[in-house]
Amino acid sequence: MSIQSELQATISDMIVEGKGILAADESLPTIAKRFKAVNVESTEENRRAYRSLLLTTPGLGEFISGVILFEETLGQKTADGKPLPQAAAEQGIVPGIKVDKGTVALANAPGDLVTQGLDGLSDRLVAYKEQGARFAKWREVYTIAGHNPTALGIKVNAEVLARYAAICQSLGIVPIVEPEVLLDGDHTIERCFEVTEAVQHAVFHALYRHRVEPEYIVLKPSMVVPGKDAPTKASPEEIAEKTLAQLRRTVPAAVPGINFLSGGQTPEEATANLNALNAMADNAPWQLSFSYGRALQEPVLKAWQGRAENVQAAQQALYKRAKLNGAARTGSYTAEMEKN
Ligand code: 13P
């Protein structure tokens, strides 16, 4: 199969009506934090048990077309010995892998961060592909504060993200391109719009310079929202309107899918916002979907609490959130549906 047909096949399996992506790729410090909130110790066995619970949830493939895994999970198995990427694939869920190595301070741009992990990336990707990964994810973060993000921060992050995406495509792996404008702060929705526009403009320009084909990427952006400590909140309709306006300014129509991150929104907010986006997006050129981590997993962790006897309840919680977000893909979610 040619590289292009391989990329196209993966895109077709990932971007599916009514379905979205589950982000289950928390790094070791992040999963430890999530587990701690429900009093579970982050041991390798607990992480295996938890992620195995997620991927073997009955019916998950009805609403989830892809899962982002952490490196360790690629090599782990279910209790009956099935590799976890295979357990996902058997449900029609494409396995993918987070490949960035987290952020460090960007020198000479105080307050800005840059993501690491390009060195040796192509060798790692070849190995991940052998383990079943068909797509990858790389996240850049941008803090909104007085002078941040700086022009330097925006430029350097875009360049790194584009290099990652180009390497992925050259190996037949679909890159999820994730420029995350953080929710932290008390900024207005207008300021978030302005920053997100500048960030995405730089990202798509860098992707073009690096000859990344927009037909074979998935964009994973943050929505345009006010900072979490902002005095004025925004309705799902306002968020949808501003997010769509911003995407129309910056994202080529050739991009097949935009799968939002939840970034600290509650599960209900993330679903309501995605629903409003789809309700408003009649003639949008891209599919608008989800790639949620916390907004899908928060109720699951609460139900599970690290106990084998809670696995079924935890899986039901995941199925429910996936189903509600599946409904939000067509703008047919209502708050009433939360009650069932
Ligand atoms: P959240 O939806 O919790 O923001 O996680 C998505 C993700 O993959 C962040 O990189």
CA distances from 296 to 231, 268, 326 (A): 27, 10, 12
**Cα 121–Cα 122–Cα 126 angle in degrees, nearest 5:** 115
Contact criterion met (CB below 8 Å) for 325 and 296: yes
d(CA 93, CA 114) in angstroms, rounded, equals: 30
pTM summary value? 0.97
CATH number, residue 192: 3.20.20.70
Q: Is any atom of ligand 1 closer than 6 Å to the C-beta of 262?
A: yes
Interhelix angle 189-209/151-170, rounded to 10 degrees, is 50
State in Å: Cα 2 to ligand 1 middle.
31
Q: Which tokens is 164 given?
A: 């990652």
CA-proximal residue: ligand 1, atom 6 (nearest): 293
d(CA 69, CA 168) in angstroms, rounded, equals: 16
| Per-residue confidence (pLDDT) for residue 63, from 0 to 100 | 98
Dihedral pair phi/psi, residue 104, rounded to 5°: -135, 165
Q: How many other C-beta atoms can be found within 10 angstroms of the C-beta atom of residue 29?
A: 9
Query: Where do runs of H (alpha helix) occur along 111-188?
Result: 121-130, 151-170
| Probe residue for ligand 1, chosen from 33, 69, 70, 291 as the CB with the greatest number of ligand atoms within 8 Å | 291
| Per-residue confidence (pLDDT) for residue 40, from 0 to 100 | 98
Domain that holds residue 17: 3-339
> Would you write out the chain's pLDDT as a tens digit for each of its 340 residues?
899 999 999 999 999 999 999 999 999 999 999 999 999 999 999 999 999 999 999 999 999 999 999 999 999 999 999 999 999 999 999 999 999 999 999 999 999 999 999 999 999 999 999 999 999 999 999 999 999 999 999 999 999 999 999 999 999 999 999 999 999 999 999 999 999 999 999 999 999 999 999 999 999 999 999 999 999 999 999 999 999 999 999 999 999 999 999 999 999 999 999 999 999 998 899 999 999 999 999 999 999 999 999 999 999 999 999 999 999 999 999 999 999 7
| Probe residue for ligand 1, chosen from 73, 261, 289 as the CB with the greatest number of ligand atoms within 8 Å | 261
CA distances from 168 to 165, 202, 219, 238 (A): 5, 19, 14, 35
Strands 94-98 and 64-69, by their bridges, are: parallel
Tell me if residue 220 is catalytic. Answer: yes
Dihedral pair phi/psi, residue 169, rounded to 5°: -60, -35
Total number of domains in the chain: 1
Is there a cis peptide before residue 267, judged by omega within 30 degrees of 0?
A: no
